[in-house]
Amino acid sequence: MKKIEPIEPYKHKHLGREIQDFWTRNVNAERIMGKKVTRHARGEDLYFQELETQRYRSHRYLPPWLSAIRSGHSVLEIGCGVGLDAYTLAQRGLKVTAVDLTYIGVATARQRFQRNQVAGNFAAGNAEHLPFRDNSFDYVYSFGVLHHAADTAKTIEEVYRVLKPGGEARIMLYHRHSLNELVHRLLRVPFEEKNELCPVVRRFTRKETRKLFRSFRQLDLRLAYVFGEGYGMLFDFTPRWLYNLLSRYFGWHILIIALK
């Protein structure tokens, strides 16, 4: 019988390495359910162009969500992958620092920044033990990453720690009570790769999310992204008003804005 990833993974001493190995093999944003987004070599200009076009076309809410991060401030991105959002933030005038669990993600992102003379600092690192001092950043941003950590609760504690007082976290986590969850359960299709189980794919309820962020003084949650381009023509032809309505109640993404 086909399987999907459990809500809570079996924890063992090699889990962190399994997560790192999975995302090294399956570089984020390069494929949608096994289908390549681009055939250009990793790191080429057209590689980034095609990945960004697909990302922001499918995640329609993401460009305005990024635009709300005010320029001139410092931002830490956790789980930057090949640096698509980090590059967008840097172009908007943010002072970008980014970390990723994989060396391949960090190297690819750094090379693009350097080639185009865009300022940014990159490091390979674990979100459960961030290599930064307390109260270091105006913003912490992480999109679809922390639910893949061996200990998601610990990563949220680290987000809180490195934020300055009054700083803002913008985080996306997967939503359990969503249409996408139901479809994957019915079809028994893994969440991240068509033919391979990701080591950790947690999905949270809104109540569980509020508990994770209970240390923050202010919290705003909303749902988005009922489904994406992996749904084929259904994504292309669903009227925008209906898509937005379904996303509001059954969205796969919990968008979190948390103030320290």
User: What does the alpha-carbon distance between residue 258 and residue 260 come to, in Å, rounded to a whole number?
Assistant: 7
> What is the radius of gyration, based on Cα positions, of the chain?
17
pLDDT by residue, tens only, the chain of 260 residues: 468 999 999 889 899 999 999 999 999 899 988 889 999 999 999 999 999 999 999 999 999 999 999 999 999 999 999 999 999 999 999 999 999 999 999 999 999 999 999 999 999 999 999 999 999 999 999 999 999 999 999 999 999 999 999 999 999 999 999 999 999 999 999 999 988 899 999 999 999 999 999 999 999 999 999 999 999 999 999 999 999 999 999 999 999 999 99
Burial of residue 174, with CB atoms counted within 10 A of its CB: 0-12 exposed, 13-18 middle, 19 or more buried: buried
Tell me, what's the pLDDT at 229?
92
Tell me, what's the pLDDT at 242?
97
CATH architecture for residues 15-259? 3-Layer(aba) Sandwich (3.40)
Say what the pTM is: 0.96
Q: Does the CA dihedral 196-201-170-167 come out positive or negative?
A: negative
Tell me, what's the pLDDT at 68?
96
Tell me, what's the pLDDT at 2?
66
CA atoms within 13 A on the CB side of 102: 21
CB 49 within 8 Å of CB 61: no
